[in-house]
Amino acid sequence: MPSLLATAHNTDLRHRAHDLRNLFGAIASARHLLDSAPEEPRRSQILAALGDAAERGDALTTSLLAADSGARPERLDLAARLRRLEPLLRTIADGDTRLTLDLGERFAAIRVVPEQFDHIVIELVANACHAFTRPGAIRIRLRAARGRVRLIVADTGAGMSRSDCHALLTRPATDGANGTGFQQVCGFVESLHGRLHLRSTPERGTVIVLDLPSLLRLHR
C-alpha cells in the first residue's frame, strides 16, 4: 500500500495540475476575447489577466518541478486577495457571463496558504461557468461577522436537483481527475474547520457558501 506521505504528495500534484488546467482555460478564453478586438478598458483588463495567468502558471510549474509541498499558512486579507484575482476571474467568466464582486465593508481575514485560496476561488468560478447553458451571472460576496467569514459564490446557471446536491456533497473521494474539483473545495473547508453550504434549484442556479473562522484585525 502507498504510504500516507506518498498519497498526500500525489494529491497535491493533482491539485496543482488541476490549477494549471484552469489557467490554460483562462488563457484560451482571453485569446478568444482579444480576437473580438475589444476597446479599452476591457482590452487592458484582458491583457492584465493574461499576465497574471502567466505568472501563476510559472509559479505552479516551478513548484511542480521542485515538488515543493512545504508552503505555510499565513494571514490573508480576503478582500484584497479577491481584488487581485479579479482580472483572472473575469477572463475565466468570459464575455457572456456577468461577474460581480461584493466584498462588503468589514475586514475579513483567514489563516491559509494564499495559493490554496486562489485555487478554490478559481475552481468555484470555473465550475459556475460550466453550469451555464445561456448567458448568465456570477456574484461573489464576502461577509464577516461574529468571528466568521462567509465567501458566497452564486450563479444563475442550470442548477441541480436536491438529490444531485446530496450526491455531490457525499461523493467518496476519488483519485482521478473527474469530479475532484468540488471535493477539493470540501477538503479545503474541512481543513480550516469551516462549514460548506450548498443550495441549488434546477434552471435557477446554485449558491455555495464557505463559512470559515476569521482572524481579527491587528491594530498597530
Nearest-angstrom CA–CA distance, 122 and 116: 10
Please report, rounded to a whole number, the percentage of residues in the chain having pLDDT higher than 70: 73
Q: How far apart are the first and last CA of the chain?
A: 51
89, three cell numbers: 476571474
Grid cell at residue 168: 455531490
Q: Give pTM, 2 decimals.
A: 0.68
Query: According to the model, what pLDDT value does residue 103 have?
Result: 95
> Cα separation of 105 and 142, whole Å?
9
In the prediction, which pLDDT does 176 show?
41
